[in-house]
């Protein structure tokens, strides 16, 4: 397979590189703004995060940056320069055949995405998280470790669903929400902000 360039040499990048190895990528290289960083997950860091254009048309790119706003900006820069985004799915993840998974997204180990779910560009479905049937997930959403979205949930762009959080079925969450770890959402969230608790309330 083609060379994979991962932007972001953090722990998240290390996990994404492991997924890429399992998918059969033979050459995995990192770009990172930390000039002291020499490797990540056993793979070389070969340049700065802005060095996207130097790898030619055969390379694919993956943005391994947790912050949604930064992930969106770097993704836009890759696409503006004609780069192609990889989509990474762990071999132990369960992804229904009718799922639509946006380019540049990742589905990590033990995650489950059920039929007719639609996920946008640059999403993260993290370790052991689940997205049930008919969910509609906007661009650059992060469903964190062990979080669960029940059926027919809608989540707006750039929202973070915290570790272990649960969103009840038929609930909509607007863009720009930070949902705290372990929170439980039982009604629509219509204003951006940070929400915590059971049931989730804005703070």
Indicate which residues carry an active-site annotation. 133
Query: 194 pairs with which residues across the strands?
Result: 178
- Residue 201: how many other CB atoms lie within 10 Å: 12
Tell me how far apart the alpha carbons of residues 79 and 89 are, in angstroms, rounded to a whole number: 21
Tell me how far apart the alpha carbons of residues 25 and 109 are, in angstroms, rounded to a whole number: 17
39 upstream amide cis, omega within 30 of 0: no
Place of tokens 């590189």: 17
Query: 137 pairs with which residues across the strands?
Result: 119, 155
- Which residues, including other chains, have CB under 8 Å from residue 171's CB and lie 6 or more apart? 150, 153, 154, 185, 186, 187, 188, 189
Collapsing DSSP states into helix, strand and coil, what is residue 17?
Answer: helix
Tell me how far apart the alpha carbons of residues 112 and 93 are, in angstroms, rounded to a whole number: 6
């Amino acid at each position: 397979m083609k060379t994979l360039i991962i932007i972001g040499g953090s722990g998240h990048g290390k996990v994404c590189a492991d997924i890429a190895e399992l998918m059969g990528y033979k050459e995995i290289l990192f770009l990172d703004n930390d000039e002291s960083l020499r490797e990540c997950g056993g793979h070389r860091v070969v340049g700065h995060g802005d060095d996207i254009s130097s790898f030619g048309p055969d390379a694919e790119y993956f943005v391994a940056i947790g912050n949604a706003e930064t992930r969106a900006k770097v993704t836009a820069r890759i696409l503006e320069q004609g780069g192609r985004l990889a989509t990474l799915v762990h071999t132990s993840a369960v992804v229904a055949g009718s799922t639509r998974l946006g380019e540049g997204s990742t589905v990590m180990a033990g995650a489950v995405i059920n039929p007719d779910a639609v996920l946008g560009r640059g999403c993260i479905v993290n370790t052991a998280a689940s997205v049930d049937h008919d969910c509609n997930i906007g661009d650059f959403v992060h469903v964190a470790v062990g979080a669960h979205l029940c059926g027919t949930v809608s989540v707006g762009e750039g929202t973070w669903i915290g570790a272990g959080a649960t969103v009840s079925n038929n609930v909509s969450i607007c863009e720009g929400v930070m949902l705290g770890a372990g929170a439980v959402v039982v009604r629509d969230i219509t204003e951006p902000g940070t929400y915590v608790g059971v049931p989730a309330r804005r703070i």
